[in-house]
């Protein structure tokens, strides 16, 4: 909605106590504003978030009130105050990433519903829900990764690989998709039988990783690195990096075993 000075407090400040409100300070002559406007409308609609637009040429007093120095200037209001902001025409993926910190998209809610079906062991319904999501959003990395995780749970590796292979290299979630593809490679390692101690450690790590027994997998891999880093072209170290990417930088296991790996290597 277009906001005027006399409606700003009611439509933005007061409304933000009940919902997140995104305010776009813009002007008709601003090229980047015209680029960003449709992106904001699309993403805010996707997240079910209220979007308020302030024409700074018509209402410079509002721009002055919030010390807007350049446009487009986007502010996120919650509980009567600004909780985040950005300036300039960001790409859609970055706008979506910022907004996802404060709200759930329709896609995220649909994914959660499909996951809930799987948790209730309504597998056929869950599969249909994920298939519908993939058909509706064939290039959405969040959808592709969630569906791939479900496929892996169902041991449908072919479908999982096909889904993960669609994630673009430039997508912020690419590393997560790649980590899952790397973990699929553990199946081959688990099936291999080695005669040396390092080969057995690597095999054990792969088998644990397939079961998502992350601590046991990391322990076996770090021991393999300590004994022979060169085994299978540094496979154990690369396996650890794949698990770190899968778990995330802040996971306690990542922190612990990244330190262990560094001590072994250096």
- Catalytic residue numbers, as ranges: 30, 33
Residue 115 contacts residue 54 (beta carbons within 8 Å): no
Grouping H, G, I as helix, E, B as strand and the rest as coil, residue 254 is helix
Question: Distance between CA atoms of 254 and 265, rounded to whole angstroms?
Answer: 16
**Locus of tokens 């690989």:** 161
Q: Which two tokens stand for residue 204?
A: 């054990």
For residue 30, give every residue at least 6 positions away whose Cβ sits within 8 Å of its Cβ, in sequence order, or none. Answer: 71, 72
How far is 41 from 10, CA to CA, in rounded Å? 21
Q: SS3 sequence, 69-130? A: CCCCEEEEEECCEEEEEEECCCCHHHHHHHHCCCCCCHHHHHHHHHHHHHHCCCHHHHHHHH
């Amino acid at each position: 909605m277009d906001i005027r000075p006399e409606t700003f407090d009611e439509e933005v400040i007061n409304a933000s106590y009940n919902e997140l409100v995104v305010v776009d300070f813009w002007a008709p002559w601003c090229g980047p504003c015209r680029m960003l406007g449709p992106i904001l409308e699309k993403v805010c609609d996707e997240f079910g978030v209220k979007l308020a637009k302030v024409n700074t040429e018509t209402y410079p007093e509002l721009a002055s009130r919030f010390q807007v120095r350049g446009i487009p200037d986007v502010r996120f209001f919650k509980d009567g105050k600004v909780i985040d902001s950005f300036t300039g025409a960001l790409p859609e993926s970055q706008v979506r990433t910022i907004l996802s910190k404060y709200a759930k998209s329709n896609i995220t809610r649909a994914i959660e519903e499909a996951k809930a079906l799987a948790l209730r062991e309504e597998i056929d319904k869950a599969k249909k829900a994920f298939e519908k999501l993939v058909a509706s959003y064939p290039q959405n990395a969040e959808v592709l990764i969630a569906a791939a995780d479900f496929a892996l749970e169902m041991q449908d590796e072919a479908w999982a690989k096909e889904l993960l292979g669609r994630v673009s290299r430039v997508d912020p979630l690419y590393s997560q998709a790649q980590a899952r593809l790397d973990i699929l490679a553990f199946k081959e390692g688990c099936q291999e039988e080695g005669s040396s101690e390092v080969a057995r450690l690597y095999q054990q790590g792969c088998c644990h990783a397939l079961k998502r027994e992350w601590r046991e997998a990391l322990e076996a891999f770090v021991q393999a690195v300590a004994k022979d880093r060169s085994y299978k072209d540094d496979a154990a170290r690369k396996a650890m990096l794949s698990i770190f990417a899968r778990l995330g930088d802040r996971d306690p296991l990542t922190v612990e075993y990244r330190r262990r790996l560094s001590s072994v290597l250096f």
